């Protein structure tokens, strides 16, 4: 980290890092040419920090609001400590997921915490999974049971997984947001942006070979692409979780496929054939065979 002599800039940097850490973002990337920043105004320098969001002006304003809570401590040390995710260098996915869950805590980072959630639905499954499914957010059943995809849509997802020749316990299942949006509405953009860093950290901890995004909300959030399902499906994307590095330098990211959300398939069963094509693409990549008829 370069030495920053201006105390105002240093303090502001600490505030900014702490703000991102509160959002679950711990890894930052230095842009080329940072050394040229020395002669620039403080506001320019702050805006050049590698902000992992697309709304720097808004984030800047939010960071200022939080500034009163920053304790007057040795800033350089604080930056160094705050820049390290709790699970940084933890290679065991079970331990890493536990640390991420602890870091999430009784989360109040977005408005969904006060809109009737019963509990946080963190994720479930095999921490060593090759295959991960990511949905949109918990529904009523998930909110009650604390586990993703346990209602009717979950039953269909279980059947989809079984048709791939594997079991639910073999995969890991999570959502973009971990609290139930009221009335099962689509999560707002700021809710997804606030919660998804924790999903990115879960992905980096699990290091799956393939991620299947279930539905357009999941796909758009993971891929940062705004496109209809017809364009998103039918191909693999190279995926690296945004804003976080895996503890395993050998993990080169996952392949990401997009398919329909099981809840949509319940409403329009005619699309099940299309979803099966998506899953077959994943099965081929992972070398999975559908179960024999007698199984
Ligand atoms: S949805 Fe995510 S960010 Fe929002 S309160 Fe729940 S756990 Fe926190």
- DSSP letters for 75-116: HHHHHHHHTS-TTTT---HHHHHHHHHHHH-S--SSGGGGTT
283 Cβ contact list (under 8 Å, min separation 6): 164, 165, 289, 290
Fill in the DSSP letter of residue 215: S
Segment 102-130, tens digit of pLDDT: 999 999 999 999 999 999 999 999 999 99
Give the binding-site residues of ligand 1, using a 6 Å CB cut-off. 104, 107-110, 112-113, 120, 177-179, 191, 194-195
β-pair partners for 254: 239
Closest Cα to atom 2 of ligand 1: 195
- β-strand pairing of 210-214 with 254-259: parallel
122, 123, 187, 191, best to mutate for ligand 1 pocket (most atoms within 8 Å of CB): 191
Q: Ligand 1 center to residue 53 CA distance, Å?
A: 17
- Tell me the CA distances in angstroms from 181 to 61, 184, 237, 263, one per residue in order: 26, 5, 28, 15
**∠ CA(132), CA(140), CA(136), 5° rounding?**
35
Fill in the DSSP letter of residue 244: -
Q: What CA–CA distance (Å, rounded) separates 52 from 17? A: 12
CB neighbour burial string for 22-43, b if at least 16 within 10 angstroms, e if fewer: ebbbbbbeeeeeeeebeeeebe
Determine the distance from the C-alpha atom of residue 148 to the mean position of all C-alpha atoms in its chain, rounded to a whole number: 15
- Tell me the CA distances in angstroms from 227 to 134, 221, 223, 224, 264, one per residue in order: 18, 11, 10, 9, 17
Fill in the DSSP letter of residue 39: G
Query: What's residue 67's pLDDT?
Result: 31
163 Cβ contact list (under 8 Å, min separation 6): 276, 279, 290, 291
Closest Cα to atom 3 of ligand 1: 195
Q: Ligand 1 center to residue 173 CA distance, Å?
A: 17
- Residue spans of the chain under pLDDT 70: 1-7, 10-11, 14, 17-83, 294-295
Query: What's residue 224's pLDDT?
Result: 93
The minimum-distance atom of ligand 1 relative to the CA of 113 is: 5
Closest Cα to atom 6 of ligand 1: 179
Q: Ligand 1 center to residue 141 CA distance, Å?
A: 17
215 burial level (CB within 10 Å; 0-12, 13-18, 19+): buried
Residue closest to 134 by CA, chosen among 20, 262, 244, 28: 262
Segment 200-227, tens digit of pLDDT: 999 999 999 999 999 999 999 999 999 9
pTM for the structure as a whole: 0.77
Query: What's residue 90's pLDDT?
Result: 92
Answer yes or no: are the C-beta atoms of 245 and 140 closer than 8 Å. Answer: no
Residue 283: which H helix or E strand, with range? helix 272-286
């Amino acid at each position: 980290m370069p030495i920053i002599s201006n105390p105002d800039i240093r303090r502001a940097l600490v505030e900014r890092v702490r703000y991102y850490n509160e959002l679950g973002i711990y890894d930052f990337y230095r842009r080329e040419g940072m050394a040229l920043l020395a002669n620039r105004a403080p506001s320019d320098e702050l805006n050049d920090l590698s902000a992992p969001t697309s709304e720097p002006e808004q984030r800047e304003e939010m960071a200022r609001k939080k500034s009163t809570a920053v304790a007057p401590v040795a800033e350089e040390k604080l930056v160094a400590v705050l820049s390290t995710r709790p699970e940084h260098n933890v290679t065991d996915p079970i331990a890493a997921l536990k640390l991420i869950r602890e870091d999430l805590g009784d989360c109040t980072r977005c408005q969904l915490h006060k809109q009737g959630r019963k509990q946080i639905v963190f994720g479930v499954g095999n921490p060593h999974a090759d295959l991960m499914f990511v949905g949109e957010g918990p529904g009523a059943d998930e909110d009650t049971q604390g586990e993703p995809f346990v209602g009717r849509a979950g039953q269909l997802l279980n059947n989809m997984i079984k048709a791939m020749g594997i079991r639910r316990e073999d995969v890991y299942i999570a959502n973009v947001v971990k609290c139930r949006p009221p009335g099962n509405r689509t999560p707002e953009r700021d809710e997804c942006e606030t919660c998804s860093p924790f999903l990115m950290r879960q992905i980096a901890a699990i290091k799956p070979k393939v991620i299947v995004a279930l539905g357009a909300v999941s796909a758009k959030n993971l891929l940062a692409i705004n496109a209809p399902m017809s364009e998103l499906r039918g191909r693999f994307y190279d995926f690296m979780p945004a804003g976080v590095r895996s503890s395993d330098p050998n993990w080169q990211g996952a392949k990401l496929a997009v398919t329909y959300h099981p809840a949509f398939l319940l409403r329009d069963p005619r699309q099940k054939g299309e979803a099966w094509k998506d899953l077959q693409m994943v099965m081929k990549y992972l070398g999975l065979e559908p179960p024999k008829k007698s199984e």
